[in-house]
Amino acid sequence: MTTGLIPGEQPPDPGPTGGLPQQRHDPAGRAADAGQAEHVERGSRDSVITARAAASFEPVGRSVASARSFVRDTLQGWGHADIVDDAVVLTSELVTNAVVHAGTVADVVCLRGEAGVRVEVSDHYPEREVPLQDAAIAMSGPEREGGRGLQLCAALAGRWGVEYTPTTKTVWFHLDLPERPVGTRSAGPVLPADLLPVADGRVRVAVIQIDRTGAVTSWNEDAEELFGHSAEEVTGKPLTDLAAWPHTPGTSTGIAEALRLSRWEGSYGIRSAGGRVTPVYASHLRVRDADGEPSTVCLLVRDHERAVLQTPARMPASDSAASGEGKSLDPFEVFIGSPAPDDLDGLLQRTVERARDMLDADAAFLLLATDDETELEVRASTGLPSARQRFARVPVEAGPGRYGSARMPAVHDDLEAVPGAVPLLNGTGMRSVVTVPLKVEGRLTGSLGVAAESPTRYSNEEALRLQFAADRIALAVESARLGELERLRRGSLSFLVEASDLLAGTLDRDQTLALMAQMTVPTLATWCAVYTIADQSSDPYLSYVLHEDEELIDGIKSLLSKIDPPDPVPTPGARVWSAPAETAHQAALRSSMRSLGLSGVPTHQVGSGIGPTLATAAAVGGETVVLPLVARNRVIGMLTLGKPTDDHFRQEILELAEDLSRRAALALDNARLYSERTAISQSLQRSLLPPGLPQIDGVEVDVIYRAAGEGNEVGGDFYDLFPITDDAYGFAIGDVCGTGPNAAAVTGLARHALRLLAREGLSGPAVLERLNSAILDEGARSRFLTLLYGEMRPQSDGSAELKVVCAGHPLPLRLRQDGTVEPAAEPQPLLGVIEDLELYEQTVTLDPGDVLLCVTDGVTERREGTRMLGDDGLAEVLTTCTGLTAGAVAARIMRAVERFASDAPSDDMAILAMRVPEPHTD
């Protein structure tokens, strides 16, 4: 036997040469521990072997992963988690050399001693030349594909060596266990009493043993005290009947799976006898008895006493872990580089670039999971058409067009053999791909993948390397993603607050539609179209289109008008609408063919249209989504958002658009209701106004009417002028107490009653007395009314005779040609107050050039602070109106009233001016 040594090392003690008992297995097979102690002469430190495990692996690629699992499980079962990583790395490289490069069976033996663990890997290569005694071991260069195992042993192992026999070559390495005080696994610093964990006066540790079926076989007294179940009640029952396990959404991981692990720590709940769930912290250890029967021992304490069982966190590497150049060996920084990007997009892009370089791939991509883990969204890629793929989403679970390998590492040797296995790579020319999940605390947060254009490029080795990198960056990616989400949510709240204020600031339908589009473009989408639905039986109508480039709006409008609108589905959320992109691409293709003369159309006829058509196709060629506008349980329209060619929406943007659509729908419906009610109100109000002023020979008449309040056309003031007989005309101007619809109702009653009663031939006093009775008959709806009513008869001499009754109304003023102004009637009681009225009429003759001015109290009571226009102020303005026509008189009075105060009028105003013109002289 010849042993190869590292220069400067002492020769190892003679070891076993192949006579060790071993078990032959299937390619992925493994052997269990052999529990008896063996006394083997291994030198002073390893003179006593306390445990041994061995397994053999066939010369196939997947045996490397099986060997890693065998060593990992063995060392974890022995409680040597501190050296597991180094042992797995070394075993992986040595077994790879045996089963891949040498092409022989690999025998792996794990030996536990008092001071460390020794792992031996043997191959059976038949044509190897046995080196001479004391010959140096030739190590291969680090760039070679194989032969790096000895270099790794030199770097990681405390001692190592190579042993030869005529039929085998054995490479062994020894890993020293960390020095710890006797009887302790780990220790913490001395702490003051007030900083120690809080526990009850007596700490109870429930000890439960579970058999291979998951049933309880042992239940101690502390378990009875903690949970209230006696041992007889629970023995033989599955632990799953008592455990309240916090299942991870979307995965099948549960307590049954945890009980099969070699070691596990964590929190869950136990249902007590009274049905109450007691939170506990548990430590599970998988063991087996002398007959090889496995079981699980569970130690449980109350969750607030977890410090009794919880394994202390491993301390960070000391400063001595840094290299001689002072560079950190933190795995995250080694993979990402230092300094790491401080933004999510930069971190993700750096990740895919490093992953591509690490596996010498042609492309790499990284997808992040949505909050419910049902979809993955492409966030970074390299070597792929990123503009087409960015923010594209695929479902997680298995099925056509789904990403079935998201939750576990997966290697696809040839995508042509399994089309659609990775939808992201469809049509990219990639053949082989390896994908690994990014997980944080057991929750799927993303997926990292690398791909190559050649098939069978990757194996489980690359998958494990990539998984190792993914595990190192998952927490940093999730932290950056949460930070980005927080910033987006804050921005979204500000956006929605501003949008709500803008939408609430208008009740105009057209302005609401414009605001909806302007708020989405370009903040949420590149272009937007709003469809409205008048009623349930109407088809959607394209009401508004907006694009961030105004020159493309007409083209998009024309394109959308040629395709059927989306279905008005009330289901909340955004749904993809593919019709615009498909139609745009077809139109662009036809235009291109015509421009090449392939359709028989002269090119000069289409040359001017090819540019806009292609531009429109590019503008709407990306993802298009439709959000329903639902208000008061009715679909009143659709909000359509679009992206340019090969672009996709982010999930957060769609959620924000959905919030905006709800607010916009309510604002649009409010505008619709306001418009409808305004139209009804205006129609009813117009019915209360006279249809028009009659033409009276020998008399000029003009009226100015202003109702107070926005949107009101009729208020409490009214006027009328109508024919009674061929030579007589009735006129009236009045003021109902109050304003608004209730006053307008009495206005309509008074105006129509006056016409009816006057045409019955009644005198002025009789007409007003009967109107008074009609107002009082309204009961609680009645309003008192001031009214000036008169009858006018033009005379043959050019004058006009008027008979007037002034019932509580401002007195009419008469303007003579010489500029004097005087009242033309006497005041009498108003209407709607007392039942028995005794009214009388007065006769006034208007000579040629005279003017009779009748106004409501909104004119005379016009105020500016403590000043009021009043009757005297009105008379003063009227004196300046000599020689003016009736229309000019009314206009001058209105201008004077408006200029008297700066505030808008708070009362209705009506002005009726009648003038007898002077005879014309040649």
Distance in angstroms (rounded) separating the CA atoms of residues 558 and 613: 10
Q: List pLDDT tens digits, range 375-418.
A: 788 888 888 875 456 667 777 764 444 565 567 788 888 888 88
How many angstroms from the chain centroid is the CA of residue 283? Answer: 39
Q: What confidence score (pLDDT) does residue 622 get? A: 77
Given a cut of 80, whether residue 141 has pLDDT beyond it is no
For the beta sheet containing 294-302, the strands, ordered from the edge strand earlier in sequence to the opposite edge, are 216-219, 206-211, 294-302, 277-288, 263-271, 243-244
Q: What confidence score (pLDDT) does residue 223 get? A: 94
Averaged pLDDT for residues 862-880: 89
- Contact at 8 Å (CB) between 704 and 680? no
Global confidence as pTM:
0.45
> pLDDT band at 598, cuts 50/70/90?
low
Distance in angstroms (rounded) separating the CA atoms of residues 36 and 251: 40
What length does the chain have? 922
> pLDDT band at 318, cuts 50/70/90?
very low
Place of tokens 């930070």: 483
Residue 649, amino acid: F
Of 107-116, 125-134, 276-285, 737-746, minimum mean pLDDT range: 125-134
Distance in angstroms (rounded) separating the CA atoms of residues 733 and 754: 11
Place of tokens 């083997």: 40
End-to-end CA distance of the chain: 151
Q: List pLDDT tens digits, range 556-568.
A: 888 888 888 888 8
Q: What confidence score (pLDDT) does residue 130 get? A: 52
Q: Exposed, middle or buried: residue 94 (CB in 10 Å: 0-12, 13-18, 19+)?
A: buried
Q: List pLDDT tens digits, range 415-451.
A: 888 877 787 788 788 889 998 888 887 788 888 999 9
Distance in angstroms (rounded) separating the CA atoms of residues 438 and 350: 16
Mean pLDDT for the chain? 78
Please give the full DSSP string across 71-95, using - where no structure is assigned.
Answer: HHHHHHHTT-GGGHHHHHHHHHHHH
Averaged pLDDT for residues 196-209: 84
Distance in angstroms (rounded) separating the CA atoms of residues 519 and 524: 8
Q: What confidence score (pLDDT) does residue 120 get? A: 94
Q: List pLDDT tens digits, range 303-317.
A: 888 888 887 654 433
Closest CA to 439 of 471, 409, 410: 471
Percentage of the chain exceeding pLDDT 70: 79
Q: How many other C-beta atoms can be found within 10 angstroms of the C-beta atom of residue 442?
A: 10
Q: What confidence score (pLDDT) does residue 62 get? A: 75
Residues 6+ apart with CB under 8 A from 32: 53, 288, 292
Q: What confidence score (pLDDT) does residue 879 get? A: 93
Dihedral Cα 184, 190, 195, 198, nearest 10 deg: 30
Closest CA to 635 of 657, 612, 668: 668
Given a cut of 50, whether residue 322 has pLDDT beyond it is no
Half-sphere exposure for 581 (CA within 13 Å, toward CB): 17
- Contact at 8 Å (CB) between 71 and 110? yes
Closest CA to 672 of 641, 631, 713, 712: 631
Q: What confidence score (pLDDT) does residue 191 get? A: 67
Give exposure, 279-316, as e/b (b: 16+ Cβ within 10 Å).
ebbbbbbbeeeeeeeebbebbbbbeebbeeeeeeeeee
**206-211 and 216-219: which strand pairing?**
antiparallel
Given a cut of 60, whether residue 129 has pLDDT beyond it is no
- Contact at 8 Å (CB) between 623 and 649? yes
**527-532 and 541-547: which strand pairing?**
antiparallel
Closest CA to 65 of 335, 407, 398, 411: 411
Averaged pLDDT for residues 326-355: 68
For the beta sheet containing 700-706, the strands, ordered from the edge strand earlier in sequence to the opposite edge, are 700-706, 909-915, 851-855, 813-815, 821-823
Given a cut of 70, whether residue 865 has pLDDT beyond it is yes
- Contact at 8 Å (CB) between 303 and 268? no
Q: What confidence score (pLDDT) does residue 672 get? A: 84
Helix (H, G, I), strand (E, B) or coil at 468: helix
Distance in angstroms (rounded) separating the CA atoms of residues 367 and 354: 15
Q: List pLDDT tens digits, range 602-651.
A: 444 433 444 456 677 677 777 888 999 988 888 889 999 988 876 778 77
Token couple for 337: 């580089």
Q: List pLDDT tens digits, range 234-278.
A: 999 998 888 887 644 434 456 777 787 777 787 888 988 888 888
Q: List pLDDT tens digits, range 766-782.
A: 999 999 888 888 776 67
Q: What confidence score (pLDDT) does residue 328 get? A: 43
Given a cut of 80, whether residue 152 has pLDDT beyond it is no
Averaged pLDDT for residues 119-135: 69
Max mean pLDDT range (118-132, 200-214, 680-694, 805-819): 805-819
Distance in angstroms (rounded) separating the CA atoms of residues 168 and 356: 38
Choice between 825 and 684, residue whose per-residue pLDDT is larger: 825
Distance in angstroms (rounded) separating the CA atoms of residues 673 and 681: 12
Distance in angstroms (rounded) separating the CA atoms of residues 428 and 453: 9
Q: Partners of 18 in the beta sheet?
A: none
* Helix spans in 291-438 (H): 331-336, 344-358, 386-389
> pLDDT band at 19, cuts 50/70/90?
very low
Averaged pLDDT for residues 735-760: 81
Q: What confidence score (pLDDT) does residue 145 get? A: 41
Place of tokens 């099986």: 66
Q: What confidence score (pLDDT) does residue 21 get? A: 34
Distance in angstroms (rounded) separating the CA atoms of residues 757 and 787: 15
Q: List pLDDT tens digits, range 492-522.
A: 777 788 888 888 888 888 888 888 888 888 8
Averaged pLDDT for residues 804-822: 93
Distance in angstroms (rounded) separating the CA atoms of residues 202 and 821: 109
Residue 339, amino acid: P
Q: What confidence score (pLDDT) does residue 718 get? A: 84
Q: Residue 99 carries which DSSP code?
A: I
Residue 494, amino acid: S
